[in-house]
């Protein structure tokens, strides 16, 4: 078996792309999208018709409404290819607005309902700010499942689990980028700080009985992926899926509930004050969360300009 086939024995594979052809090629169970991926996709000739159709069919609506429709159109098409769930992101500009995030999520789910997509097949992606986590807590009570993104630290992960979020997406590669830049060192295998962060979160969840799924995200190389074999899910770009499919090097399970229960992790009591202080004490998590929100906001603005040019 190649590495991708071996990995599928331990972990659910998710395609991190808005490209339908890549999703068909690698047969993942789930797929994730974000503003950057959708922006990239709609600039390709094969996906421009989806953008043009969203603008044409909703000509009387606002740019924001047309973009929501575009996101749902991509999600609906992806769900025709995969057996599982698709993740659709809320507007990153709502990252510090609990009520705004809840409204946006409800609207996206309503649009999926209108397209006859069962809500259990959709995850609403929300930034893992305190306000975003509070929005997820409200939405989960309404059976709107949430994927908590831009997650870089254990306190963020604990707060998401205590809010009963369906799934979190800790960002391995961006953590690696920060440490590589700040220390000037290369990291590989089990020494990679991004890998260590996800292992710690997974172990904490399994040791203390949290049901929230852990989906490693934002990978830079296949070593980061194979070091997390056994994680609940891993969302992987088409380029890295291809590399895994081309390699027959052995993949061994690195994460398991048994190893998690044997860890020496201690339970952390977390309220808003503790969350904000612990996040502030973690320079990497603070900087990467802020940067990630800014980048997603910038790509949302670019997507708006593309829509407005056709509107």
Query: Domains in the chain and their CATH numbers?
Result: 3-310 (3.20.20.70)
Q: Is residue 302 annotated as a catalytic residue, yes or no?
A: no
Position 39 scores a pLDDT of 92
Name the E strands within 205-301. 213-216, 233-236
Name the E strands within the chain. 12-16, 30-32, 86-89, 122-127, 146-151, 167-170, 213-216, 233-236
Local confidence band at 107 (pLDDT 50, 70, 90 cut-offs): very high
- CA neighbor of 33 nearest in space, from 7, 72, 66: 72
Convert the pLDDT of each residue in 146-163 to its tens digit.
Answer: 999 999 999 999 999 999
Position 311 scores a pLDDT of 80
Position 295 scores a pLDDT of 96
Structure tokens that stand for 274 in this block: 């503790």
Local confidence band at 253 (pLDDT 50, 70, 90 cut-offs): very high
Convert the pLDDT of each residue in 279-301 to its tens digit.
Answer: 999 999 999 999 999 999 999 99
How many Å apart are CA 47 and CA 18, to the nearest integer?
9
The model's pTM is: 0.96
Average pLDDT over residues 20-43: 93
* pLDDT at position 35 over 90: no
Q: Which of 125, 199, 207, 254 is catalytic?
A: 125
The mean pLDDT of the chain is: 96
């Amino acid at each position: 078996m190649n590495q991708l086939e071996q990995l599928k024995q331990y972990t659910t594979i998710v395609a991190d792309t808005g490209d339908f052809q890549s999703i068909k090629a690698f047969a993942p169970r789930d797929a994730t999208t974000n503003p950057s991926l959708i922006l990239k996709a709609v600039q390709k000739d094969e996906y421009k018709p989806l953008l043009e159709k969203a603008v044409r069919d909703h000509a009387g609506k606002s740019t924001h409404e047309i973009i929501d429709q575009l996101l749902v159109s991509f999600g609906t098409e992806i769900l025709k290819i995969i057996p599982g769930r698709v993740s659709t992101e809320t507007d990153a500009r709502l990252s510090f607005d609990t009520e705004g995030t809840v409204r946006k999520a409800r609207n996206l789910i309503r649009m999926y309902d209108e397209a006859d997509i069962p809500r259990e097949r959709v995850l609403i992606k929300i930034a893992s700010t305190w306000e975003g986590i509070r929005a997820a807590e409200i939405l989960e009570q309404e059976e709107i499942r949430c994927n908590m993104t831009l997650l870089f630290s254990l306190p963020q992960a604990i707060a998401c689990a205590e809010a009963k979020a369906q799934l979190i997406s800790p960002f391995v590669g961006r953590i690696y980028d920060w440490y590589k830049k700040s220390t000037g060192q290369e990291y590989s295998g089990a020494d990679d700080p991004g890998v260590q962060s996800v292992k710690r979160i997974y172990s904490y969840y399994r040791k203390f009985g949290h049901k929230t799924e852990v989906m490693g995200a934002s990978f830079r190389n296949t070593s980061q992926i194979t070091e997390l074999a056994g994680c609940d899910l891993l969302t992987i770009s088409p380029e890295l899926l291809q590399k895994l499919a081309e390699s027959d090097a052995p993949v061994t399970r690195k994460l398991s509930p048994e190893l998690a229960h044997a860890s020496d992790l201690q339970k952390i009591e977390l309220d808003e004050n503790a969350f904000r202080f612990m996040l502030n004490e973690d320079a990497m998590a603070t900087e990467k969360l802020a940067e990630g929100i800014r980048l997603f906001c910038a790509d949302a603005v670019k997507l708006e300009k593309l829509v407005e040019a056709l509107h």
